[in-house]
Amino acid sequence: MKMLINVAETVVADALRGLAAAHPELTVDVENRVIVRRDAPVAGQVGLVSGGGSGHEPLHGGFVGPGMLSAACPGEVFTSPVPDQMVRAAAAVDSGAGVLFIVKNYTGDVLNFDMAAELAEDEGIQVAKVLVNDDVAVTDSLYTAGRRGTGATLFVEKIAGAAAQEGQPLERVEALARQVNENSRSFGVALSACTTPAKGSPTFDLPAGELELGIGIHGEPGRERRAMMTSREIADFSVNAVLEDLNPDSPVLVLVNGMGGTPLLELYGFNAEVQRVLIERGVAVARTLVGNYVTSLDMAGASVTLCQVDEDLLRLWDAPVRTAGLRWGM
């Protein structure tokens, strides 16, 4: 496999150095693996900290900035960051208003963020935690007890980040993050396996002419494997799987997310089919975002995330944001 890297051992450090060079509005601690918005801590604002294994870019480091995360902790590829990173990040962004940890439901992330919360509280930092577990494909998986955290992480980070930017208190920011997670469901499909730099070959076997329905963002098995389907058929299967679980009675945010190896030409075509299914099912769409946001290295495929919103959640979604990976209104 050909990769634009030096050696596998320095992939994350090299990427962080490149991020720092491209985005001087961020403070990037390459050695300790912490990315912080340069103006942190912001007086009177709740600090938002998230993180996880690298390989899902722009999640999470690409979402650090005004209107979204205060800091992010990148681990090695597909490997949880360690508690010391999270404590360092919490200390860097704590203004005295408290810190919210946003955690995807993967066992390593959950354990390490739990430990970090205890350590941070020992240092006098008030910490709240929200678990993202939006994936409807499977209940338990290779890395997870319960549902996996996937595309809804973006919705949680954006809406909670907007609330924090407004100066809302920790209890309210936490409650909004929980509401967004509870209102969100996702389903993903893989057309190819991903390739980690350390392995240098596909992480699982997906024969030519087949696809995996319900894949996780690390290549975890899904519901079933089938012969290749059309974009229309994949949209029917994916959106209906989400709607079987969500049953929205108000408008939804739609995220049509690429897994890293699918071009926008295909993603926009897939979005057309997703929108068709939603219209057929009588689901009103408030906003749509299409692109590569919660990825799995070079995996070809896509996920669909729906989040039911009220006027307040929609207002917070529309609020200005300025990060490397998401920006509008600023």
Q: What is the set of active-site residues?
A: 56, 218
328: its two tokens:
């509008």
Rounded distance between C-alpha atoms, residue 328 and residue 204, angstroms:
37
25: its two tokens:
């509005």
**What is the DSSP-derived secondary structure letter of residue 326?**
-
Contact 102, 50 (CB under 8 A): yes
Integer-rounded Cα Rg, in Å, for the chain is 19
Beta strands across the sheet bearing 184-190: 224-227, 210-213, 184-190, 301-308, 252-258, 285-291
Q: How crowded is residue 1: how many other Cβ atoms within 10 Å of its Cβ? A: 10
Contact 81, 73 (CB under 8 A): yes
Q: Three-class SS of residue 183?
A: coil
